[in-house]
Amino acid sequence: MRAMVLHAVGRPLALDIRPDPEPGAGEIRVRVEACAVCRTDLHVVDGDLAHPSLPLVPGHEIVGIVDRVGDGVLTSVPGMRVGIPWLGRVCGHCPYCASGRENLCDEPVFTGYTRDGGFASHVVADAAFAFPLIGFDDPVAAAPLMCAGLIGWRSLRMAGEGKRIGLYGFGAAAHILAQICRWQGREVFAFTRFGDEAAQVQALSLGARWAGSPDAGPPELLDAAIIFAPVGALVPNALRAVRKGGRVVCGGIHMSDIPQFPYRLLWEERQLVSVANLTRQDAVEFLAIAPKAGVKTTTTVYPLERANEALADLRAGRFQGAAVLVP
pLDDT band at 216 (very low <50, low <70, confident <90, very high): confident
DSSP state of 196: -
Tell me how far CA of residue 96 lies from CA of 85, 103, 104, 128, in angstroms.
19, 8, 6, 18
- pTM value is 0.95
Output the pLDDT for position 79. 97
Average pLDDT over residues 160-187: 97
pLDDT tens digits for 2-36? Answer: 999 999 999 999 999 999 999 999 999 999 999 99
Least confident residue range of 73-87, 168-182, 185-199, 298-312: 185-199
**Confidence band, pLDDT 50/70/90 cuts, at residue 298:** very high
Nearest alpha-carbon partner for 36 in 108, 139, 113, 123: 139
Count of alpha carbons within 13 angstroms of residue 208, beta-carbon side: 26
Task: Please check whether residue 120 is in contact with residue 3, taking contact to mean a CB–CB distance below 8 angstroms.
Answer: yes
Query: What value does the mean pLDDT take over residues 110-135?
Result: 98
pLDDT band at 309 (very low <50, low <70, confident <90, very high): very high
Residues 6+ apart with CB under 8 A from 210: 189, 190, 218, 219
For a pLDDT cut of 90, what percent of the chain falls above it? 97
Q: How far apart are CA 249 and CA 105, in angstroms?
A: 20
Query: Kindly report the CA angle at 300 between 299 and 301, in degrees rounded to 5?
Result: 110
Cβ atoms < 10 Å from Cβ of 326: 16
Cα 70 to Cα 25, 118, 308: the distances in Å are 5, 19, 32
pLDDT digit string, tens, across residues 233-273: 999 999 999 999 999 999 999 999 999 999 999 999 999 99
Distance of alpha carbon 93 from the chain centroid? 26
Q: Is the peptide bond before 132 cis (omega within 30 degrees of 0)?
A: no
Residue 196 has pLDDT above 90, yes or no: no
If pLDDT is split at 50, 70 and 90, which confidence band does 223 have? very high
- For position 123, what pLDDT does the model report? 98
Closest CA to 85 of 35, 48, 22: 35
pLDDT digits (tens, 9 = 90+) for 106-118: 999 999 999 999 9
- What does each C-alpha distance from 232 to 67, 168, 201, 250, 315 come to in angstroms? 43, 11, 25, 9, 17
Q: What is the residue-averaged pLDDT of the chain?
A: 97
Q: Give residue-wise pLDDT tens across range 70-100.
A: 999 999 999 999 999 999 999 999 999 999 9
Structural domains of the chain, with CATH: 2-146+297-326 (3.90.180.10), 149-274 (3.40.50.720)
Q: What is the mean pLDDT of residues 40-45?
A: 97
What pLDDT is attached to residue 195? 73
Q: How far apart are CA 303 and CA 295, in angstroms?
A: 24
pLDDT band at 217 (very low <50, low <70, confident <90, very high): confident
Nearest to 294 by CA among 186, 208, 181, 216: 181
The pairing of strands 61-69 and 81-84 is antiparallel
User: Pairing mode, if any, of strands 271-274 and 242-250?
Assistant: parallel
What are the residues whose beta carbons fall under 8 Å from the beta carbon of 301, sequence distance 6 or more? 140, 323, 324, 325, 326
Length of the chain: 327
Residue 136: pLDDT above 80?
Answer: yes
Residue 277, phi then psi, degrees to nearest 5: 60, -140
pLDDT at 211: 96
194 band by pLDDT with thresholds 50, 70 and 90: confident
Q: What are phi and psi of 290, to 5 degrees?
A: -55, -45
Find the radius of gyration of the CA atoms of the chain.
19
Q: What is d(CA 121, CA 110) in angstroms, rounded to the nearest whole number?
A: 19
218 confidence band (pLDDT: 50, 70, 90): very high
**Helix or strand (DSSP H, E) at 203:** helix 197-205
Nearest to 132 by CA among 88, 75, 89: 75
